[in-house]
Amino acid sequence: MSLLTQTVKAIQPLNKTAMEAARARQNNLTKPPGSLGRLEEISIQVAGITGQERPVIEEKVVITCAGDHGVVAQGISAFPQEVTPQMVYNFLNGGAAINVLARHVGARVVVVDAGVAADFEPQPGLVIKKVAHGTADMSQGPAMSREQAVQAIEAGIEVVEDEIARGLSIVATGDMGIGNTTPSSAIVAAITGLPVADVTGRGTGIDDEQLVHKVAVIEKSLAVNQPDPKDALDVLSKVGGFEIGAIAGVVLGAAAHRIPVVIDGFISTAGALIAGGLSPLARDYMIAAHASVEIGHRATLSHLGLVPCLDFDLRLGEGTGAALVINVIEAACKVLNEMATFGEAGVSEKAD
């Protein structure tokens, strides 16, 4: 049995007993029931994910997956492909936005080379899981083989399992890859059936003319490859990216080990869409960090049944929005654990 098959089989429904206990405690804390809104809902979800009535968030990790895309040859990005490895070095040197925000929330950053079109020397903080030096140009044929799609997903699973061995309470997804909003939009259009123009944004900042061209390239890619919307592996292999596959693996690996996974922006949510296609149960283990400026993001979240925690006009990726929301999730669990009940505080409850 392959690692992917084993992982999908290991994903179980949320623990209803733990959720009911967490909900009962929330309703008995010194506040009107439901008055802390989403914080209460999140703590109950985390209880169901972990199977712990009073979950504690301690070890935090942001896994930022990097890869390159052959489709950049079609002129769909405002930045050259060389920026991908340059940003990987920036991550490793601690100088990127994700490093700042991860330090702020006390999370370690793990950078995964899932398919960058450059080679790196082994170094701390970098996990080399390179499937290939970038995908093929999806506008001309499949971005990768089905076997490579499985390899990319299993790379993400392996990284999560290695982090579990180090200690892991919560994981956040992140991405880096010049041109990767293009395969992300293709994945979303393929799986949701929405028009390409309705799920394709400006990425790193292309102009109106470039946006029209980008939509046309995605439409051509879908026409050339005909991905099967009911087969997530087929969609990933036809119009996906190695880092997107690795993100899907992170989601599946976390779900299989009952660890909450915070989904970042548009690219991460495209990976989550692949994971949800492979295991519908995995959706219950996801917490959507934010609503990206990318126009396809809200449609993707809606398809997954996820409600974003923040709406900050973010569109950087890297895991930045997800890192911020780790703090929110930790706060939700602390409220559940540390607030006094009416009985403990000697406060009168609402009259009948």
**Residue among 286, 315, 307, 107 at smallest CA distance from 202:** 315
Cα 11 to the chain's mean position, in Å? 17
Side-chain-facing half-sphere of 116: CA atoms under 13 Å: 25
State how far the Cα of 135 lies from the Cα of 73, in Å rounded to an integer: 11
Q: How far apart are CA 298 and CA 172, in angstroms?
A: 19
190, 180, 217, 191: which is closest to 294 by C-alpha?
180
Q: How far is Cα 76 from Cα 217, in angstroms, rounded to an integer?
A: 8
Q: Strand 286-288 vs strand 261-263: parallel, antiparallel, or unpaired?
A: parallel
Contact 173, 269 (CB under 8 A): no
- Which residues fall within 8 angstroms of residue 74, CB to CB, at 6 or more apart? 137, 139, 213, 217
- CB of 185 closer than 8 Å to CB of 269: no
Instruction: Give, in order, the Cα–Cα distances in Å from 174 to each of 25, 197, 272.
Output: 33, 25, 11
Catalytic residues: 318
The closest alpha carbon to 325, from 284, 281, 277, 290, belongs to 290
Q: Which helix (H) or strand (E) holds 288?
A: strand 286-288
Nearest residue to 14 via CA among 308, 287, 332: 287
Contacts of 262 (CB under 8 A, 6+ apart): 170, 171, 172, 173, 286, 287, 289, 322, 325, 326, 329
Cα–Cα dist 258/137, whole Å: 36
